[in-house]
């Protein structure tokens, strides 16, 4: 079965494990996802099944949004509540101070990825190095935080919750630690829920238990979004001869397609029988429609 499944990831499972569970439920040959969530995190996760894994990079990249709980006065090696405690800090933080400092982190900024992350260095995950007690130099990366607001804050407990809308690759754990540092204290993330990913709201996601129930009722197809529906590209139907050529990786002459198209634009390509063949990109400079991704390849 090819397509995408929108999953509400449970707490405690790694993203890899969730993919494996979804693959088992659908009896798919392979699966993949569009962005790692830490085991402690929950929320929106887009899982690709079988041939859809080839199209992950073409999904709409609209950034991600989170509700993140935090606590000031505490530092851990993982920057979240699951890590080993490194230090404490008793500096008080008022709601006014916190609200004021948030402005510094909105927009484009540079962020240093944490050691406990899935990023690789010479083929090794950083968290694997961190677990061995190693810390290496990392390069700060450009991120964009389009929205950052305070949802709640208890001054006495120094605990609260943030709403964060940000670009892919943003580490909310690091953001909270950096906010704490800007306030002269320490900060850790205590909970994280991704409320949207790739334009998919968590309200439109299904839990693993709901997917199991659909499987039992023989209605799993209800949970699968087709590749072209998920990609949201304009549809382009070609002739039977052109469909065979495209499906085999061949380029098509635009003048023979006899359809109005735009230059340097991605299209979902269909056969006359309404079979999705893949994604092609137009190039007026060469007069060709070139295969970008093909479903059978």
Cα dist from 75 to 22, 71, 99, 193, whole Å: 35, 9, 21, 21
Q: What are phi and psi of 14, to 5 degrees?
A: -75, 160
As a whole number of angstroms, the distance between CA 224 and CA 47 comes to: 10
How far, in Å, CA of 44 to CA of 42, rounded? 7
Does the CA dihedral 85-86-90-95 come out positive or negative?
A: negative
- Alpha carbon distances (Å) from 216 to 98, 103, 205: 49, 49, 18
Distance CA 63, CA 87 (A): 33
Q: Can 263 be counted among the known catalytic residues? A: no
- d(Cα 19, Cα 286) in Å, to the nearest integer? 40
Distances in Å between the Cα of 189 and the Cα atoms of 27, 55, 278, 280 are 36, 32, 41, 42
The residue annotated as part of the active site, out of 13, 38, 80, 178, is: 38
What interhelical angle do 208-216 and 15-26 show, nearest 10? 10
Catalytic residue IDs: 38
């Amino acid at each position: 079965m090819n397509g995408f499944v929108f999953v509400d990831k449970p707490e405690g499972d790694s993203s890899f494990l969730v993919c494996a569970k979804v693959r088992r439920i659908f009896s798919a040959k392979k699966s993949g996802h569009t962005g790692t969530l830490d085991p402690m995190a929950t929320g929106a996760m887009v899982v690709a099944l079988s041939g859809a894994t080839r199209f992950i990079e073409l999904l709409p990249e609209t950034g991600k949004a989170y509700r993140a709980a935090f606590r000031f006065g505490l530092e851990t090696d993982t920057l979240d509540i699951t890590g080993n405690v490194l230090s404490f800090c008793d500096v008080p933080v008022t709601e006014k101070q916190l609200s004021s400092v948030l402005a510094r982190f909105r927009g484009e900024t540079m962020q240093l990825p944490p050691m406990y992350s899935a990023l690789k260095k010479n083929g090794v995950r950083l968290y694997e190095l961190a677990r061995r007690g190693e810390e290496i130099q990392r390069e700060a990366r450009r991120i964009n935080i389009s929205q950052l607001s305070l949802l709640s804050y208890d001054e006495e407990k120094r605990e609260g919750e943030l709403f964060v809308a940000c670009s892919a690759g943003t580490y909310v754990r690091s953001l909270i630690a950096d906010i704490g540092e800007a306030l002269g204290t320490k900060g850790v993330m205590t909970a994280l829920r991704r409320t949207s990913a790739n334009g998919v709201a968590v309200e439109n996601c299904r839990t693993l238990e709901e997917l199991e129930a659909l499987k039992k009722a023989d209605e799993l197809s209800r949970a699968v979004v087709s590749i072209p529906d998920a990609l949201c590209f304009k549809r382009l139907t070609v002739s039977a001869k052109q469909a065979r050529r495209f499906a085999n990786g061949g380029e098509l002459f635009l003048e023979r397609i006899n359809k109005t198209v735009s230059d340097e634009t991605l299209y979902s390509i269909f056969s006359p029988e309404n079979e999705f063949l893949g994604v092609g990109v137009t190039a007026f400079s060469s007069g060709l429609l070139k295969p970008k991704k093909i479903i059978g390849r």
